[in-house]
Amino acid sequence: MPHNSAQPHKAHILVVEDDTGRREILLRKSKYSIGRAQQSDIRIHSPFVSRYHATIIRQFDDQGYTYYEILDGDGHKIFSANGILVNGRKVNNQQLKNGDKVIFGPQIFIIYQHCPRDIFPSLPPDDPFDITLIDPAMMGSEWEDN
């Protein structure tokens, strides 16, 4: 019988801080546009942010693990007016690592978090060790003595 153990996976989260406050976004898609434009996937509320300020793209490393890369602008030809700073350094593109702080303007930033989470395999339906415990109090009056 093959041994299925818990497999570590990583949750990719952006903590966004803008003029409306702080919020967390779980990254699941392969590409996100970030900016002031109403059609941005991640809308940043601030006059210091360009309409198409940055793009985040999911990538895969040599072992098949995912990571996200941030690009200035729309990732093609349009760049933001003020650029992006990752951990205080101006960049055009950079692979994001856990704890990276990307600054778009005064008090406008995102923090990238790469958190582990375990996914447990389900047991086969014929597992001899799978038992269900029932509390008789949960069954109602049919179990009471007359």
pLDDT at 74 over 90: no
Could you tell me if 70 and 43 are in contact, meaning their C-beta atoms sit under 8 angstroms apart? no
Decide if 89 is inside a domain.
yes
- Closest to 114 (Cα-Cα) out of 23, 2, 9: 9
**Which of helix, strand or coil describes residue 78?**
coil
Does the pLDDT value for residue 1 go beyond 90?
no
Q: pTM of the entire structure?
A: 0.72
Residue 106 covered by a domain: yes
- Quick check: 27 pLDDT over 90? yes
Q: Is 36 a member of any domain?
A: yes
Q: What pLDDT shows up at residue 7?
A: 43
Report the domain count for the chain: 1
Q: Which is more confidently placed, 47 or 6?
A: 47
Residue 127 inside a domain? The answer is no
Inter-residue contact 80 to 95 (CB < 8 Å): no
The residue type found at 32 is Y
Give the range of the structural domain holding residue 58, as residue numbers without chain letter: 7-119
Tell whether 146 is covered by a domain. Answer: no
Closest CA to 79 of 35, 29, 17: 35
Rounded Cα distance, 146 and 136, in Å: 15
pLDDT tens-digit series, residues 84-143: 999 999 999 999 999 999 999 999 999 999 876 554 455 555 555 555 566 666 555 554
Give percent above pLDDT 70 in the chain: 73
Separation between Cα atoms, residue 35 and residue 104, nearest integer Å: 9
Beta-carbon contacts of residue 83 (< 8 Å; ≥ 6 apart): 72, 90, 91, 92
Asked, for residue 91, whether it belongs to a domain, the answer is yes
Mean pLDDT to the nearest integer, 60-65: 88
- Looking at residue 42, its pLDDT comes to 97
Q: State the Cα–Cα distance between residues 15 and 107, nearest whole angstrom.
A: 13
Q: With CA atoms as reference, report the closest residue to 26 among 96, 133, 112, 95.
A: 112
**CATH number (domain holding residue 12):** 2.60.200.20
